[in-house]
Homo-oligomer: A and B are copies of this chain.
């Protein structure tokens, strides 16, 4: 009988991971429940998010980063909603940066591995974008979902605003997918408040960022009206 240990890690294979990062207490929603737990189509937002990754062809190992205080609540929700998608639960930090770092800490990977980071509160991400992001990250080192700005954009500096060329402006979403080593090395940097996403961290570490096409429907649930809009988009899918 062959050694099953050898079979489970064939040469030149790689693993795929996804960190689903859930932020703070959801105070901006005016809700008593953090926004990742609010019901969308009768099911907590974060379950939609996790399912999108689970049902992708890539089918990555899923690490959900949640504030410690909500782990028991999440587990209750999983029971109540009969949610059985395999995932690892990790304690979050005080900032998004720290939360992603804590997610990375539990991953024992190798140099060919790929990792997506995704907002728990983006439940409507299309599976195709997830798979594309892994594919492009394998080729380019990273792949960051973004859409062109539909609005004219101005940049305000020292109280003076200046027009930016709209066609050059991209609004960044998640998934943001990276070669694991690239993301791990970038997250060695000290925290900066410039780090509003993972691409900004990785760019600060000296890597160039590869954009892929996101989707206008890939919205982030931040304010109460966003949940209603998500319901609409979910129904029209």
Given contacts A162-B203, A225-B232, A232-B232, contact A155 B168 (CB under 8 A): yes
Contact assessment for B225 and A152 in the assembled complex, using a CB-CB cutoff below 8 Å = no
Contact assessment for B154 and A222 in the assembled complex, using a CB-CB cutoff below 8 Å = no
Contact assessment for A169 and B152 in the assembled complex, using a CB-CB cutoff below 8 Å = no
Chain B: CB-nearest residue to A201 = B163
A40 contact set on B, CB distance < 8 A: none
Contact assessment for B168 and A153 in the assembled complex, using a CB-CB cutoff below 8 Å = no
Q: Closest CB-CB distance, A40 to chain B, in whole Å?
A: 14
CB proximity to B under 8 Å, residues A206-221: 208-209, 211, 216-217, 220
A151 contact set on B, CB distance < 8 A: 171-173, 220
Contact assessment for B168 and A209 in the assembled complex, using a CB-CB cutoff below 8 Å = no
Mostly, the A contact residues are: mixed
Asked if A139 CB lies within 8 Å of chain B CBs, one says: no
Given contacts A156-B168, A168-B157, A209-B161, contact A236 B232 (CB under 8 A): no
Interface-centre pick from A146, A172, A197 (highest chain B CB count, 10 A):
A172
Contact assessment for A170 and B150 in the assembled complex, using a CB-CB cutoff below 8 Å = no
A160-178: contact bitstring with B at CB < 8 Å (1 yes, 0 no)? 1111111011111100000
Chain B: CB-nearest residue to A162 = B203
Given contacts A152-B196, A154-B172, A211-B161, contact A233 B222 (CB under 8 A): no
CB proximity to B under 8 Å, residues A126-151: 144, 146, 149-151
**In the bound complex, what is the Cα–Cα distance between A168 and B157 (angstroms)?**
6
Beyond A144-B154, A225-B232, A228-B232: 6 further Cβ-contacts under 8 Å? A146-B154, A155-B168, A156-B170, A163-B199, A225-B233, A229-B232
A-B pairs, top 5 by smallest CB distance, nearest first, are A152-B172, A151-B171, A152-B197, A152-B196, A163-B200
